[in-house]
Each structure stands twice: as C-alpha cells, then as structure tokens.
Amino acid sequence: MTRAPGNAGAPAVVIVGPTASGKSEIALALAQRFGGWILSVDSMAVYRGLDIGTSKPPKVVRERVPHRGLDLEDPDRDYSLGDFLRAADEALSEMLAAGAVPILVGGTGLYLRGILKGVSDLPRRNPHLRKHLLLLEEVQGAGTLHRLLQEKDPVSAGRIAPSDRQRLVRALELAEQGIMDTVGRAREEWRSEDRFPSVKVGLLRSRVEITQRITRRVDAFLEAGLLEETRGLMERYPQGGNAFKALGYRELAAHLRGECDLPAARELIIRNTLRYAKRQMTWFRKERDVQWFEVSGPIESAARRIGDYVAERIGSTAGIG
C-alpha cells in the first residue's frame, strides 16, 4: 500500500492523544466545522459488537457525520494491520471523491503510522494454514507455535510473546512464503515522509485529569451496560478471538469466568487503561509535525482553538494527491 489515497483535495486532519483526552469530541467538532468525514483509527473499533467499550458514536451522530473504520469484522475473526490499511485507503478515497475533509482520529499508533507512511502489500491470510496451525497448538500444547516460529523466523519469534497466538500464526503464515521479521520489515519500509499532506493535532491533559476522566469513563461504560455487552459476546462467540483482548472486555470476561469480582475487574480496567494511555503518549510524542494543545475541562474552548489552527493550516497546505 504505497499509493496516496484519492485525488486532489483538502489535507487530512489527524488527531492524536491518549485515551479519554477528548479526541472524538474534537474530531466531531472539526468535522461539523469543515465538512469532514471521520476515519476511526482504533484496532478494536473495527470489530462488530464492541460498541460501549470502544466508545463508538451512536447512530444519530453517524447520520450527521459519516464515519469509517468501524464494524469491519466479526469479533471472533482476526483483523490485521494490512486488512485495516486496505479499508482505510478505500475510505480516504471515498471521502475525497465526496469532497469531504478526511479526519483521522484514534489511539492505535501503529495503524496511524501505517496510513501515513504506507507499507508494502503483504499476502492475505490463508484460512486453511491458520486452521492447521491452531489445531497443531491444541494437540501439541501451549508453546508449540512459538517453538515453530523460532525455527522458521527467530527474529520475529523474539518480538512475539509465546501466548500471542494471533501474531504467531500470522508470522508463521508469512514465514511459509519466505517473508521474515514482519514487524521489523514493515517499520523499515515506512517512508521517512508521509505519503500525503496532513494537519496533525495532539491533545495534552494532566496526569491527574486523565486519571479522573478514565475513571469516570469506565464507570459510564459499566452503567451503559458494558458487562451485559461482554456477556452477550461471550455467549455468541464462546471460542473467543482477538477482539476479546480489548480493554474492558478482557477484564470483564475474567470476572464472568469467576476469576475476580466486579469491583476488582473495574479497578483492573482503570489501571490497564492508564497504562495504555501512557504507552500511547510515548508513541505519539515520536510522531513528527504534531501541534500539541494543552486541554483542561470541557472540550468546547479547545475545539475552537484547534479549529482556528486547522483553518489556518488547511488554507496553506496542498491537498492530497
């Protein structure tokens, strides 16, 4: 995926920052102000049925502002970086054909980097080989796939945890086709320059405020029915899947399996989300050309400041093409 998406048009607007910082609210405000469509860059929001815990916008919001990058796969199926980049390119082309300003928002740094830099096309998944590999692990026991990968691609094996079956299977699948060290390979092939112009905005909140917002957000999710949503997903997909690694769902799944009580699961969600927010900031601080904005309290004032900045930059930046 090395082509630039779409034809000439407005620069993309990219919004980064930690979870609970207000990215979605800013994106919506900018979309309404500039006639934009939103592309969600969230590796868990691609799964159908994971609605509450991934903060998917309600139907009324999606009717007002078109969203892409949501509900692309069933939660018991794996969805790769390559799958997402193909869908993202199609969405960006659709936006530009409609004359809409593309607004990229989400917390998955690897996915965003892939969109901005582009990576070489990798082979699609082989369902027959994947089934065979998973059966092999089931018959021969935990650790089988990791040992096999160590034989075929030791560099990738060193990057992937023995318990991460999704990535192990994908690495083995590629190794069978002579493609080694897929993580390092993808990063090495990222271009130094972005493949299309964009205006990048970052949101900064204090650690204290992020903690407060994450705590309120988790409680709001629980009040909205996240536990019931998780229970329903487990009933429909008893074999699990990559989607059940999502924050909130994995902790509540553990509660529903009897591994902890609900208060403990709540505390674990908050703690794990805070750790994730810290990792997000480590990633996004390395992103080039981001204009960071200090944000505190309600989002309205920040939305105006950021909107004015974007208006100035859009007027002086060439379009995608």
pLDDT tens, 102-157? Answer: 999 989 999 999 999 987 555 666 777 877 888 888 888 888 888 888 888 887 78
Do 183 and 195 lie in one domain? The reply is no
The answer to whether residue 44 sits within a structural domain is yes
Tell me the β-bridge partners of 13. 103, 199
Residue 176 pLDDT exceeds 90? no
Contact, 300 vs 186, CB < 8 A?
A: no
Q: Is the pTM of this model over 0.85?
A: no
- Separation between Cα atoms, residue 284 and residue 278, nearest integer Å: 10
pLDDT at 1: 41
pLDDT digits (tens, 9 = 90+) for 258-268: 999 999 999 99
Handedness of CA 302, 307, 310, 311 (dihedral sign): negative
Do 183 and 194 lie in one domain? The reply is no
Report the residue count for the chain: 321
| More reliable by pLDDT, 240 or 249 | 249
Q: Phi, psi (5° rounding) for residue 73?
A: -150, 155
Do 83 and 195 lie in one domain? The reply is yes
pLDDT at 197: 94
The answer to whether residue 2 sits within a structural domain is no
Do 212 and 279 lie in one domain? The reply is yes
Among 138, 171, 188, residue at a domain's last position: 188
DSSP letters of 113-158? HHHHH-----PPP-HHHHHHHHHHHHHH-TTHHHHHHHHH-HHHHH
- Structural domain boundaries enclosing 262: 12-119+190-316
Among 188, 211, 233, residue at a domain's last position: 188
Least Cα distance to 203 among 27, 7, 9 occurs for 27
Among 188, 221, 241, residue at a domain's last position: 188
Do 85 and 210 lie in one domain? The reply is yes
- Separation between Cα atoms, residue 265 and residue 257, nearest integer Å: 11
The answer to whether residue 28 sits within a structural domain is yes
- Separation between Cα atoms, residue 124 and residue 126, nearest integer Å: 7
For 251-268, letters b (16+ CB in 10 Å) and e give bbbebbeeebeeeebbeb
- Separation between Cα atoms, residue 34 and residue 297, nearest integer Å: 24
The answer to whether residue 3 sits within a structural domain is no
Do 111 and 152 lie in one domain? The reply is no
Do 150 and 287 lie in one domain? The reply is no
Structure tokens at 246: 């999502």
Mean pLDDT to the nearest integer, 242-246 = 86
The answer to whether residue 4 sits within a structural domain is no
Q: What is the CATH number of the domain that holds 143?
A: 1.10.20.140
Do 203 and 281 lie in one domain? The reply is yes
- Separation between Cα atoms, residue 216 and residue 222, nearest integer Å: 10
Do 177 and 296 lie in one domain? The reply is no
pLDDT at 5: 47
pLDDT band at 318 (very low <50, low <70, confident <90, very high): very low
pLDDT at 167: 76
Do 153 and 280 lie in one domain? The reply is no
pLDDT band at 193 (very low <50, low <70, confident <90, very high): confident
- Separation between Cα atoms, residue 101 and residue 36, nearest integer Å: 4
Contact, 304 vs 293, CB < 8 A?
A: no
pLDDT digits (tens, 9 = 90+) for 216-229: 999 999 999 999 99
The answer to whether residue 6 sits within a structural domain is no
Do 112 and 132 lie in one domain? The reply is no
Mean pLDDT to the nearest integer, 179-192 = 52
Mean pLDDT to the nearest integer, 44-60 = 96
Tell me the β-bridge partners of 294. 204
The answer to whether residue 194 sits within a structural domain is yes
pLDDT band at 174 (very low <50, low <70, confident <90, very high): confident
Mean pLDDT to the nearest integer, 30-46 = 97
- Quick one: 289 exposed, middle or buried, by C-beta within 10 A (0-12, 13-18, 19+)? exposed
Do 241 and 97 lie in one domain? The reply is yes
pLDDT, the chain, mean: 88
pLDDT at 149: 85
| More reliable by pLDDT, 120 or 253 | 253
Contact, 49 vs 72, CB < 8 A?
A: no
- Within 8 A by CB and 6+ apart from 169, the residues are 78, 130, 133, 134, 145
The answer to whether residue 1 sits within a structural domain is no
Domain count, the chain: 2
Mean pLDDT to the nearest integer, 235-259 = 92
pLDDT at 179: 57
Q: What is the CATH number of the domain that holds 83?
A: 3.40.50.300
